[in-house]
């Protein structure tokens, strides 16, 4: 069973403590971080792959619904609130579930199970390729053929096993079309295929004998890779 990575956003510290206590008892759930300020969560979401967001709806500076609308890439969402009138609006935004405070461990676990089932369905339906626009053509590229990807101005250079492809898009757009369990950003200009890493140090990784520097702000990502590959 795959673990779900999650964060929680709520302006009430006590509400976050309840989520932390419940999450610690759900074996497949990893609560990575909690935030009382929704805006502080945005950089975290931009840099980290998160499966699930526990999100309060009524917060002082921005509502949970407004917060969802400003995100470029939205993980699966479970809304948490003390106000039942928000339930319909929450489900209109395709929230997986809605937890009415105060919620029990049993109700919390039920919501997590729904997220897990949905994530497994999504993985089963995920294709193993993408189409990249190169000039006037679109070329089929299998994820397994990608070694690493480098930002070059307004373009991204996809370095494959036997060639390079240049496509006009930025690094955020590129991350959105790649399976996050297979690719990771380790520098402001580089995304690498985890399975293609030959060796690594604290400052660099090597793919096809090509050394790629690890950006200082992405060192945590390298630690995650080490944990996944450690035997």
pLDDT tens for the chain, 231 residues long, are 568 999 999 999 999 999 999 999 999 999 999 999 999 999 898 888 899 999 998 898 888 888 988 887 788 999 998 877 655 455 556 688 889 999 999 999 999 999 998 887 766 656 788 999 988 889 999 999 999 999 998 899 999 988 999 999 998 889 888 887 788 899 999 999 988 999 888 889 999 989 999 988 887 777 777 665 654
Predicted pLDDT of residue 228: 58
Alpha carbons 158 and 39: distance in angstroms, whole number: 32
**Residue 2: is it exposed, middle or buried by C-beta count within 10 angstroms (0-12/13-18/19+)?**
exposed
pTM of the predicted protein model: 0.58
Alpha carbons 16 and 56: distance in angstroms, whole number: 10
Tell me how far CA of residue 203 lies from CA of 66, 109, 220, in angstroms: 38, 40, 11
Q: Which residue has the tokens 């509502």?
A: 63
Secondary-structure breakdown of the chain: helix, strand, coil percentages, each rounded to the nearest 5:
35, 35, 30
Structural domains in the chain plus CATH codes: 4-124 (3.40.50.2300), 129-229 (2.40.50.1020)
First to last CA, the chain: 18
Radius of gyration for the chain, computed over Cα atoms and rounded to the nearest angstrom: 19
DSSP summary character for residue 52? E
Predicted pLDDT of residue 125: 59
């Amino acid at each position: 069973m795959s673990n779900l990575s999650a964060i929680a956003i709520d302006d009430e510290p006590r509400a976050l403590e309840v989520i932390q206590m419940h999450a610690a008892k759900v074996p497949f759930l990893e609560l990575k971080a909690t935030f009382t300020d929704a805006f502080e969560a945005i950089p975290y979401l931009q840099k980290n792959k998160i499966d699930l967001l526990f999100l309060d709806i009524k917060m002082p500076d921005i509502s949970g619904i407004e917060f969802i609308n400003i995100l470029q890439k939205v993980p699966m969402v479970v809304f948490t609130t003390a106000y039942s009138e928000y339930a319909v609006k929450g489900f209109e935004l395709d929230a997986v579930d809605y937890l009415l405070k105060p919620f029990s461990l049993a109700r919390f676990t039920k919501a997590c199970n729904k997220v897990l089932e949905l994530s497994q369905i999504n993985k089963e339906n995920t294709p193993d390729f993408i189409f990249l626009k190169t000039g006037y053509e679109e070329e089929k590229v299998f994820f397994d053929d990608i070694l690493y990807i480098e930002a070059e101005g307004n373009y991204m250079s996809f370095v494959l096993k036997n060639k390079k492809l240049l496509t006009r898009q930025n690094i955020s757009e590129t991350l959105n079309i790649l399976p996050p369990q297979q690719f990771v950003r380790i520098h402001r200009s580089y995304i690498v295929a985890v399975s293609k890493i030959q060796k690594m140090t604290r400052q660099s990784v090597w793919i096809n004998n090509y050394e790629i520097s690890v950006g200082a702000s992405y060192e945590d990502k390298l630690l995650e890779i080490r944990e996944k590959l450690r035997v």
